[in-house]
Structure 1
Amino acid sequence: MAPVPKSPFEPDDDPETYVGLARRTAEERARERGWSTVRSLAPGTIITMEYLGGRLNFEVKDDVVTRSWKG
């Protein structure tokens, strides 16, 4: 797989810092830190693989972020 390019629209923020937070807290913090799109998904949700700069994805179980990744 090719490396993911650094987007100029992406904040300098580590997605791992959101793991363990409540969904709402994580979403609010991500928007405050400059993410233009924040998406929360249930475990196993089928999504497309296109990369969108400025988007932060959360996998959420029982209203807690269990995984977080860019794009």
Structure 2
Amino acid sequence: MRPEDIDYPRPVVECHACSDLAAEMVAALAAASIVFKDNKDYSHKLVHGATTLFQFARDRRGRYSAGVSDTAKFYN
């Protein structure tokens, strides 16, 4: 579904203990750094972001869906 076709609310929420979601983002950033390895600056930025986010995931463990009740219907 295209974003412009979504006809239901998608509120933005803050998460302080969502290591599962953060770890998925870490994996995506790390994979992208390999894809863009020829662009050293961008690849380095992606690795830095992955490293920073990994520290967040390691320090604040918890499930994303446990803190935000409506997420289960979208992501589980």
TM category, shorter: under 0.3
The normalised TM-score by structure 1 is 0.26
Larger Rg: 2
More strand, by proportion: 1
Instruction: Please state which structure has a larger fraction of its residues in helix.
Output: 2
TM-score under structure 2 normalisation? 0.25
Higher relative contact order (CA 8 A, sep 6+): 2
